[in-house]
């Protein structure tokens, strides 16, 4: 019988990317900025880590969709914020 070890490496990386993006962009929602949505329509910029985990576990959200949504949000907001120096060019491949 195999023990459930919690997060897989993929889940850990997706959660880490999401956490970083939330810290960088989460405070902009009250200023009227557009929210980031995954391809499934899940509002990732408004979701807590717990909600993101639940959406992933329930099949509403994939790690790839989450990473793509945050990369789009970074691309949209970073020209104003200048907060992100570099994103991982392999992030989507890692999440897939």
1 occurs within a structural domain: no
Total of domains in the chain: 1
Domain with 39 in it: 9-25+34-95
Residues ≥6 apart with Cβ < 8 Å to 49: 15, 18, 19, 22
Write down the pTM of the prediction. Answer: 0.59
Please give the chain's pLDDT, 96 residues, in tens.
555 566 677 777 777 776 666 665 554 444 444 466 666 677 888 889 999 999 999 998 899 999 999 999 899 999 999 999 999 999 999 998
CA 9 to chain centre: 15
64 occurs within a structural domain: yes
38 occurs within a structural domain: yes
4 occurs within a structural domain: no
């Amino acid at each position: 019988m195999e023990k459930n070890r919690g997060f897989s490496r993929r889940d850990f990386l997706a959660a880490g990317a999401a956490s970083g993006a939330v810290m960088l962009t989460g405070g902009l929602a009250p200023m009227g900025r557009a929210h980031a949505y995954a391809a499934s329509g899940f509002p990732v910029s408004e979701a807590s880590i717990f909600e993101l985990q639940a959406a992933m576990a329930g099949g509403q959200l994939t790690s790839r969709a989450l990473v793509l949504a945050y990369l789009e949000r970074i691309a949209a907001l970073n020209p104003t914020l200048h907060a992100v120096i570099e994103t991982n060019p392999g992030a989507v491949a890692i999440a897939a």
